[in-house]
Amino acid sequence: MPRNRMAAKTMKAPTDLGSAYESCVRAFEQAVEDANGVAILPARPVLNSFESTGATTAEFRLSLWLKNWPHRKLGNKRLDIFIRALERFEVPSWDLIQSTVYANYFIVTGVEGRLAQSLHYDFVAGGQPCHPLFHVQLTHQLIDVEGIEVDIELKLQDEPSLCCVTTRIPTSDMTLASVLYCLVADHLSEGIFREFEKRFLSIQDRLPRLRYAPLKDRIARSGHFKSCHWF
């Protein structure tokens, strides 16, 4: 969501919330290290990734570069994944009112990365017109990984599909924590995932809760499609 980045100021989140985000990211880094992988993060500490964006709102912003990410079907080809997360809170309650997590998947040859897949997971409290309340959207968007110096040239596909930019698929609530959880489950070994899961589940009660009132309201209304994630 466009905004004046110069107006944002680093702020301190509540101790439980800030430490939960830090523990979440550290658990993910440990899983990557256990798999002999590489996860590059900005130099800014996770606890300093919270910013004030107004009298009643705050944001958490984080980027990651996953280099040479394991993939069962690519053989000797190199897969790099870039992640950029934006999570917005209402303060002082610190309810999570927006979560958008962008992901770019690149097939890398030498110093060139060719976009293979681009998507983002999205949730906005109160919903958006003509959007599932929680959804993943396929795009052709190259994301900007803030605070990370990228040493490969990133390129779009030569002939991208023109239809996928209109594809919006209902999902469960996919916050940053959910995306990191799935990345470990889908790409790393079961043993590494199980150890990661233990660390991760121990902090989940401290992670922010989504504002569910709009969701409950939509379920209650008879005029809406019955899937809880839909309009």
Q: Answer with the residue of higher pLDDT: 14 or 2.
A: 14
pLDDT on residue 22: 96
Residue 51 CB neighbour total at 10 angstroms: 18
In the structure, what pLDDT confidence band is assigned to residue 128 with cuts at 50, 70 and 90?
Answer: confident
pLDDT on residue 120: 93
Helix (H, G, I), strand (E, B) or coil at 171: coil
Residue 33: half-sphere exposure toward Cβ, Cα within 13 Å:
8
Q: Are 112 and 152 in contact (CB under 8 A)?
A: yes
pLDDT on residue 2: 41
Residue 1 pLDDT exceeds 60: no
In the chain, what percentage of residues exceed pLDDT 90? Answer: 55
Q: What tens digit of pLDDT does each residue of 102-112 get?
A: 999 999 988 99
pLDDT on residue 185: 92
pLDDT on residue 204: 84
pLDDT on residue 4: 47
In the structure, what pLDDT confidence band is assigned to residue 213 with cuts at 50, 70 and 90?
Answer: low
Lowest mean pLDDT among 28-32, 133-137, 185-189: 133-137
